[in-house]
Chain A
Amino acid sequence: MENRPRLELRRVSKVYESAGQKLEALRDVSLCLEAGTVTALLGRSGCGKTTLLNLAGAMDLPSSGEVLIDGRPTCGLTDAELTAVRRKRIGFVFQFFQLLPTLSVLENVELPLLLAGVTTAASEARNRLRWVGLEDKFQAMPHQLSGGQMQRVAIARALVHSPDILIADEPTGNLDTASGEQVLGLLADSAARFGAAVLIATHSAEAARIAQVRVRMRDGRIEEMERS
């Protein structure tokens, strides 16, 4: 049980249908993410990175194959069960931060715990914000923060409920170099410190450098996988 992968994709394919046309976004992809590791998904736009992230984050279901989160397949789960999986096991970081503009920094970070009905959300949220270095911004509103600060809040939010898997979609895509490095440092640290399996979709070479596993994708397939 200890060595069970946090996330496993077994021969996963995803086909979208639009106006009678079939589009195969993922083809026969198999991947395994261990706890405490960072995996980088590399490749051009449209190669299937985001589709893979959505399947890994229990936001979507594969057309064929299996996605196992902590050993449990997502296929056959109801919408409510998929929601429960996301609440407990998944954290998301987006390219455009996606903080709710009407909530304070602290409330944004509390949100995943509040949605899960946890009553001690505030103290957990404060801890995570201290960890990302924003202990002086609890009551600030998102529009009062810089891009780097917003992404750090997003990382604190993604980790507040101690998820098994942290999914980041182009987390540095909208940041300057210094902020990007700071964010990448936090993502690497989150794997080491909290034992999360971190999956990053990125174009950035810097992001790739912090990963222990680099997966290069092309036309919906894994073209190359490299471990360091």
Chain B
Amino acid sequence: MIAYARLLRSFILRPLRRDTVRTLLTVLSLALGVGVVVAIDLAGDAAAGSFSSSLETLLGKVDLQITATGGVDERWMGELSGLPLNISLVPVVETLATVDGIGEVELFGLDLVSGVARENGTDLSGDPDDALVVSAALARRLGVDRGDRLRLTIGDTRREFPVVALVNAKDAEFLALDIAAAQKAVKRFGRIDRVDVLMTEGENLTAVEAAIGNLLPASYTVERPGTRREENQRMLRAFRTNLRVLSFISLVVGAFLIYNTIAVSVVRRRAEIGILRALGTGRQRILWLFLGEALLLGLAGSLLGVGLGRMLAEAAVALIAQTVNALYVSSRPAPIALDLYTALAGIFAGVGVALASAWAPAREATQVFPSEAMGRGAHESAARLAWKRKLLAAVLLALAAVAAAQAGPIGGRPLLGYASALLSVASAALAAPALVLAISRFTRTAARKLAGVEGLLAVRGWTASLPRTSINVAALATAIAMMASVAIMVSSFRETVLVWLDYQLRADLYVRPAGRSGTLAPEVIPQIASTRGVEAVDVFHATEFRFRGERATLGAGDLEIVRRYGRLLFLEGDRDHILSSLRGQDRAIISEPFANRHAIATGDRITLPLGARNVEVTVAGVYYEYSSERGFVILDRSTLLRYLPAQPPTNLAIYLNPEADATAVKREIQRKTAGKRIVVAENQALRRNAVRIFDRTFAITYALEGVAIVVAVLGAASSLLALAIDRRRELAVLRFLGASAEQIRRMVLLEAGLLGLAANLLGLALGFALSLLLIYVVNKQSFGWTIQFHAPPGLLLGALGAVCLATVLAGLYPARVASRMPAIEAVHED
């Protein structure tokens, strides 16, 4: 062991110290890779971890929750109280209120507000309806205290409430009104959003669950609160898995660089390895020497990466939380918590990747015979001959990738899609030597004509170290491919959404309550319908419901108006026929993600829990939809109101006469509904907002790609430096033969440019293949969306040009080192 440590110090550590810049570049590349993985993990946890109920901090542990589509009928409270059980029942109305300056905050309606206020010494006898309780954490943030007044927008109403009490609920931020006041504010008379059940000690949870379940209608849901949190986590699973996979790109790029560093290390020390072997050092020890080098680099990179990840997570959490809010469910990011498990996982990932990528070159080192004083030229020459074998392997892996892409999801996840992506990356890496040789062959004449002798030397020189050049190309190409594929995927998605918006948003004006989760007062409908210029009003009702254990949105509208004015797109079937068949019938149309998620097709019958009844409806058609992964089930309004007559409207789509001016009608509606907090948006504004949300959602993916490119460019700098150091004898000979320092510099920069060119070509081809995988396999299997392929040529060309430029810039330092190398020592090294 001591002998090994000594050998490691003199054989590995000293050269690492000598090549400080290169060592630092490798460590930094790996650190960035590990950092991104840790950051996405931490930020994902923080963004998803805030679903736990704020109320639990106030009420204590809630054992069961009772919910129903359209709300729980209040009369069941009496029935439940009559059960011979030792339980407390807490009816809850839940909504979001908008607070000036800070945005939306959870607002609960509870019948314990009076109690809380009394405990705080507040007399509510004067005006109990207004009594507002504020959690201490929120009060601190708002700077309000007992006795102050707070202005809130709830649904379409805006008014002031007196703060009667502050309650300590750790760091939870929420508001609470008396339940009657909350029902009035959200216009849910006679209905409550849920009933929280708290058991006293000694009660059996299963028995309580069974007793309540037996009492309530079958369409009601009785669940343990953990289920909802787990459901939220499950809902985010696909999103987080895809983000996690993207975060591993930088680490994959880092793996290529570790491979390269160890390969260079082995090639440069073949003679020394030969001497060590001749002196009696065994193969195993040689193997462990180079694995030791990888371990040291991996440890240094991982430790640095974990710290870096903690910092990057701060930036990432905001982006991820925006996406979660936009696409899934309202949440508030929890604080970022770097625990030992995450730190160790990051370190294991970094060290594991380092060791795995070093394995092949380290093993190659053990094949050096003691007698071997094999020069690099002969070794490289042998390696050059392997390109045909590698190309064949690349073809076989590509075929395997195609086969894997055809398979369906496993456990709802596109695991074979990911496998196909990895096989594609491996295939591209193996095809790199053939591409490098081909580029060298085809650019030979042009390079000499355009760039003179430096061009000739650059084109030939970069094939001199074919295995390492190929690895550099593969590493940079992987990063470029990821960038290109995600750019194509996002662009395709964006184009698809734009086209879809054009079909979906056909109305001239849209109305919604100012508060996010509120409803509209029914009296505004005739007011709006009678406005001059209005031709038709589609009244839409949306509410959350549960289907096969998962949440989705149940919607209802006037589908005859949609048929007449809209252009809803269906996967198959005649639009007019489908929409006409819904009126007054137990028939529904469903969105594509809902159909894919639950494997439902046109003609299937599904059961919907509507109020106290389970209603079986026939699926009349599946329509394209891109606003929610959870999915929609849409009924005709007449059908919904038959089962849930009190269901308030949530949105209006207004169609105008062709000669009406949308802005003027909007102003008139605003005038007529003054006093109601409603938002009237014109078609274009709504579209712009949708696109803005879309772009914000994908900001994180661009950020991840950016890091992968930085890692690859750092790697390119490190590799070019290694190549320059490794070819010092050739560079010295050139100096003897009359090459100026400037010519050497230009030659290395041209090689950097060639590296960028080859990586761009390979990266584009691989990126195209990966984009097909992302669009038609990963996205489809993860989210259920059909996306039309659309490549953004301007964006791709710009990005690829930037990568080429960055690669050339990355060559500046290696070029400087190469031009300043002492020629005399180098030429006599043999």
Residues of A that sit less than 8 Å from B by CB: 50, 54, 57, 59-60, 79-80, 83, 86-87, 90, 92, 94-96, 98, 100-103, 107, 111-112, 114-117, 142-143, 157, 161
Contacts and interface: CB of A to CB of B under 8 A. Distances in A.
B378 interface: yes
DSSP majority for the B interface? helix
Given A50-B828, A101-B464, A107 B380 contact: no
Contact of A114 (B456, B461, B729, B740): B456
Nearest to B828: A50
B738 A59 contact: no
Contacts of B377: 101, 142-143
A100 B456 contact: no
B730 interface: yes
Which 4 A-B residue pairings sit nearest by Cβ, starting from the closest?
A: A87-B738, A102-B460, A114-B453, A98-B733
Contacts of A80: 740-741
A13 to B, nearest CB: 17
A59 B737 contact: no
Contacts of B792: none
B536 interface: no
A101 B456 contact: no
B456 A107 contact: yes
A99 B464 CA distance: 13
A112 B452 CA distance: 13
A115 B736 CA distance: 11
Interface in B444-463: 452-453, 456-457, 460-461, 463
A98 B729 contact: yes
A106 to B, nearest CB: 12
B460 A59 contact: no
A112 B740 contact: no
B830 interface: yes
A54 B733 contact: no
Contact of B463 (A102, A111, A117, A161): A102
Contact of B824 (A54, A83, A111): A54
Chain B contact-residue range equals: 20 to 34
A103 B381 CA distance: 13
Contacts of B169: none
Given A112-B737, A112-B738, A59 B453 contact: no
Contacts of B646: none
B739 interface: yes
A94 B736 CA distance: 10
Given A59-B823, A115-B453, A83 B733 contact: no
A81 to B, nearest CB: 10
B823 A100 contact: no
A111 B453 contact: yes
Interface centre among A90, A98, A101, A143 (most CB of B within 10 A): A101
A107 B736 CA distance: 16
Contacts of A90: 738
B46 to A, nearest CB: 53
Contact of A157 (B729, B737, B828): B737
Contacts of A143: 377-378, 381
Contacts of B457: 100, 103
A60 B823 CA distance: 10
A60 B824 contact: yes
B743 interface: yes
Nearest to A158: B737
Nearest to A143: B381
A54 B461 CA distance: 26
Contacts of A86: 736-738
Contact of A115 (B739, B824, B827, B830): B739
Given A98-B733, A103-B456, 19 more contacts: A54-B824, A59-B824, A60-B824, A79-B741, A80-B740, A83-B739, A83-B740, A86-B736, A86-B738, A94-B736, A100-B733, A101-B381, A101-B464, A114-B452, A114-B456, A115-B734, A117-B452, A143-B378, A157-B737
Contact of B827 (A98, A107, A157, A161): A98
A57 B732 CA distance: 13
A114 B460 CA distance: 15
Contacts of A115: 453, 734, 737-740, 743
A116 B827 CA distance: 21
Contacts of B830: 95-96
Nearest to A157: B737
B712 to A, nearest CB: 25
A114 B747 CA distance: 13
B623 to A, nearest CB: 61
B453 A100 contact: no
12 contacts: A54-B824, A59-B735, A83-B735, A86-B736, A86-B738, A92-B736, A98-B736, A98-B827, A100-B457, A112-B737, A116-B738, A143-B381
Interface string B456-488: 110011011000000000000000000000000
Interface in B61-79: none
Nearest to B448: A114
Contacts of B735: 59, 83
A143 B385 CA distance: 13
Interface string B370-381: 000000011011
A116 B194 CA distance: 87
B723 to A, nearest CB: 13
B417 to A, nearest CB: 41
B440 to A, nearest CB: 9
B753 to A, nearest CB: 17
A57 B736 contact: yes
Nearest to A161: B738
A57 B824 CA distance: 11
Contacts of A100: 457, 460, 730, 733-734
A102 B464 CA distance: 6
A157 to B, nearest CB: 7
A165 B350 CA distance: 57
Nearest to A94: B827
B374 to A, nearest CB: 13
B827 A103 contact: no
Interface in B780-830: 823-824, 827-828, 830
Given A98-B729, A102-B464, A111 B378 contact: no
A92 B737 CA distance: 7
Contacts of B464: 101-102
Contacts of B381: 101, 143
